[in-house]
Structure 1
Amino acid sequence: MGLLTRATLVVATSVFALSAAPALAQEWQPDRPINIIVPWGAGGSTDQVTRVTAPIIAEELGQAVVVVNQPGASGAVGTQEVLNAPKDGYTWTANAIANNATYSVTGLVPDTSIDDWHIYLSVANVPVVAVPSDSEFEDFGQLLEAFKERGSEITVGTAGVTSSGGMAIAGLGTEGDFEYRMVTYDGGGPAAIATAAGEAMVTTQLAVEQAELIRGGRLRPLAVLSDQPLTIEGVDPIPPITEWLPEFPIAPDYFGIFIPQGVPEEVVATVNRIWEEKVMNSQALKDYAQTNGAVFAPSYGEEAREVAMPVVIEEACAAEERGLEVNDPSTIGIDCETKSEM
């Protein structure tokens, strides 16, 4: 089953999700603004979808929900800031869940795991291999040959080693048996813009970070890291990577908002209600996904954790395979021999 089909099934089941918080929990009424720390630069995938969902939450809470960009160390700086903040419900984060779940493996944020967070997922995203519009490469087959022949002469713009784009090119390099030279930026949006400007020869960041540049003819998409084509509004379907690398591992990359464990019970109960009643039915979020090549896939609580685990396991084990691990994935309960939770 393909990426987009799987994510659609998640949407179909998520509408039946039950609140994980006790039914009698008091409704939270915050008395000051809430900060959502996005640990990446403005314009990237996390920043984009967070700025769509934050107003939905703010309207329900009757308080401002402020998106604060705090990039650094592949998202680790902002994430650690949230973990260090008082557990009073007023400091949240947003990211790809695979990042928060595997920062301990890469050593960027020690002693943390997926279970340190209340999880609120909004969309599934997928990386796209793209080149500047004036690139010599017309399709992924040509680029793949160049990678194999020229290796580290080919520069790849990403948001860092553990970003979606960084993990994407690492996976391609492993599967395609080639080397490359990564050029890193403070977010997926800046990486895509820099590639369009010719600072890098390729980018492997997410479709949502490239959509406007692709629509505007500044980037040429060559392949989507999926097993089926990707349609971005106003653009011809982008062919799947499996046309060239049939065994390439595919796992949906889920993004959302995360609240640290330890906050008051009424905070969780209230955000659960807002997610189920408002976010999971948001036309604004649906429109964002359709326009930008994402998949509308909201869920929360145990269901969100369940749908997230395949990409968490894939990225934790990929870090081990590529020698990027500082801590063994078993320390966060992942068995890479069986690709499952322990």
Structure 2
Amino acid sequence: MGLMTKAALAAAVSAYAISAAPALAQEWQPDRPINIIVPWGAGGSTDQVTRVTAPIISEALGQPIVVVNQPGASGAVGTQEVLNAPKDGYTWTANAIANNATYTVTGLIPDTKIDDWHIYLSVANVPVVSVPADSEFKDFNELLAAFKERGTEITVGTAGVTSSGGMAIAGLGHEGDFEYRMVAYDGGGPAAIATASGEAMVTTQLAVEQAELIRGGRLRALAVLSDQPLQIEGADPIPPITDFLPDFPIAADYFGIFIPNGVPEEVVTTMNRIWEEKVMNSDALREYAEKNGAVFAPSYGEEARKRAMPVVIEEACSAEERGTMVNDPSTIGIDCDTKSEM
């Protein structure tokens, strides 16, 4: 699954109108700490951006927000924990929205879909194909030729099958007509570090998980899954995947915080206000995005759902095309014949 580059996506984001101010309702005043379960390991893309946004919300609510890493089954273990928790407003999750929306298609969580969540998006992220600094592969064409010739001899470090990196290499394998051997880690950060250390030959995790390693010369970035080059602060521009695979599909991959349906109305109304007033104007979040090759793109509610659906549809239908689905995308309301909602 590919992504827009920062400049292209930022232009698209600016074209959207900001959601209208929430309707007046009783303000929520939590009386104890709130848990955000990050269903991936520490240091990955979800963990990073959640630890930037959590203090903003905590200050506004006047209660601590505890970020809990609970990896397993490509994010499904922690996500299921949130779905099973009491709907009292004190247990949230964070992830890429395409994961939460398609876990049923991949068979990792039964009977769940995008509308099981109140959606609060923060940034859009982009996968990057990188190799260790001392790798034999100097550019993506060399790597692509090796994949075609050596197949499963080439190991790819990711955070799991349904992670952004896992979906990225699946898309590359499909479009490039090659096989590979995935090595799964507890998060995108650990996968990138392991690849830099030589445990895997390639990683396809997100730019934000690789930025420091690329800047530090431990990873060599070969291509960004975008149709435009990507600039990471302190590093050379990364060429777009469309230079090598012109028909590679592009869709923006949004990350954020999600609150399960069924919580009291005042929880959602208060969170909507905080997101609009604080997160959507956060210098800390903007600086994080600009430094790490992400796109500052906060939204919530119906606007967030609208932005999320293209990547949800792309991932659900890609699973069908690649033969990795367990349940048909129609079970979550997606028609892959038309690439639209049913």
**TM band (smaller chain):** over 0.9
Aligned counterpart, 2:115: 115
Aligned match of 2:230:
230
Deviation string for 1:130-185 (max 9, x for gaps)?
00000001100100000011111000000001100000000000100001000000
Q: Considering only aligned residues, what root-mean-square deviation do their CA atoms show, in Å? A: 1.2
Q: Distance in 2 between matches of 1:181 and 1:39?
A: 23
Q: Percent identity?
A: 83
Q: Deviations over 1:238-267 (max 9, x none)?
A: 000000000000111000000000100000
Report deviation, 1:6.
4.7
Contact 2:93/2:258 (<8 A) preserved: yes
User: For residues 79-94 of structure 1, what are the structure 2 equivalents within 5 Å?
Assistant: 79-94=79-94
How high is the TM-score relative to the length of structure 2? 0.98
How many Å apart are 1:326 and its aligned residue? 1.1
The one-letter amino acid of 2:6's match is L
- Asked if 1:280 corresponds to 2:280, the answer is yes
Given the superposition, is the C-alpha separation of residues 123 and 35 from structure 1 closer, same or farther in structure 2, using an over 3 Å criterion?
A: same
Q: Which amino acid aligns with 2:235?
A: V
Matches within 5 A, 1:18-167: 18-19=20-21, 21=22, 23-167=23-167
Alpha-carbon distance in 2 for matches of 1:146, 1:326:
30
Mapped contact 1:141–1:244 kept (Cα < 8 A): yes
Deviating above 6 A after TM superposition, structure 1's stretches of 4 or more consecutive aligned residues are none
Q: TM-score with structure 1 length normalisation?
A: 0.98
Task: Name the SS for the 2:104 alignment partner.
Answer: helix
Structure 1, unpaired ranges of 5+: none
**Secondary structure, in 3 states, of the residue corresponding to 2:199?**
coil
The aligned amino acid for 2:339 is K
1:17 maps onto 2:35 in alignment = no
Distance 2:92 2:128 in 1: 28
**Counterpart in 1 of 2:6?**
4
The one-letter code matched in structure 1 to 2:61 is: L
d(CA) in 2 for partners of 1:14, 1:78: 32
Q: Aligned partner of 2:329: which letter?
A: P
Q: 1: CA distance between counterparts of 2:150 and 2:58?
A: 50
User: Counterpart of 1:104 in 2: which secondary structure?
Assistant: coil
Give, in whole Å, the separation in 2 of the partners of 1:14 and 1:276.
Answer: 14
How many Å separate the matches in 2 of 1:63 and 1:10? 35
- Cα 1:283/1:15, change in 2 over 3 Å: farther
* TM-fit CA distance, 1:321: 1.2
One-letter amino acid matched to 1:252:
A
Equivalent residue for 2:256? 256
Q: CA deviation at 1:11?
A: 3.5
Secondary structure (helix, strand or coil) at the match of 1:17 reads: coil
1:7 to partner: Cα distance: 2.6
Please give the secondary structure, in 1, of the residue aligned with 2:43. coil
The secondary structure found in structure 2 opposite 1:136 is coil
Letter in 2 for 1:7: L
Following TM superposition, by how much is the alpha carbon of 1:325 offset from its aligned partner in structure 2, in angstroms?
1.1
TM-aligned CA deviation for residue 108 of structure 1: 0.5
Give, as a single letter, the amino acid of the residue that structure 2 aligns with 1:17. S
Report if the CA contact (8 A) 1:157-1:182 is conserved.
yes
Cα pair distance change 1:332/1:112, threshold 3 Å: same
Q: Distance in 1 between matches of 2:184 and 2:16?
A: 35
Measure the CA separation in 2 of the matches of 1:293 and 1:77. 28
Distance 2:16 2:121 in 1: 11
Alpha-carbon distance in 2 for matches of 1:207, 1:306: 24
Report the equivalent of 2:199.
199
Distance 1:24 1:161 in 2: 42
- Cα distance change on mapping 1:58 and 1:10 into 2, 3 Å: farther
Give 1:15 shift. 6.0
Shift of 1:9: 3.5
Partner of 1:297: 297
Q: Which amino acid aligns with 1:8?
A: A
* CA-CA distance at 1:27 after TM superposition: 0.8
Residues 1:13 and 1:273: Cα distance change in structure 2 (over 3 Å)? farther
Deviation at 1:17, TM superposition (A): 1.2
Distance in 2 (CA, whole Å) between partners of 1:113 and 1:178 is 31
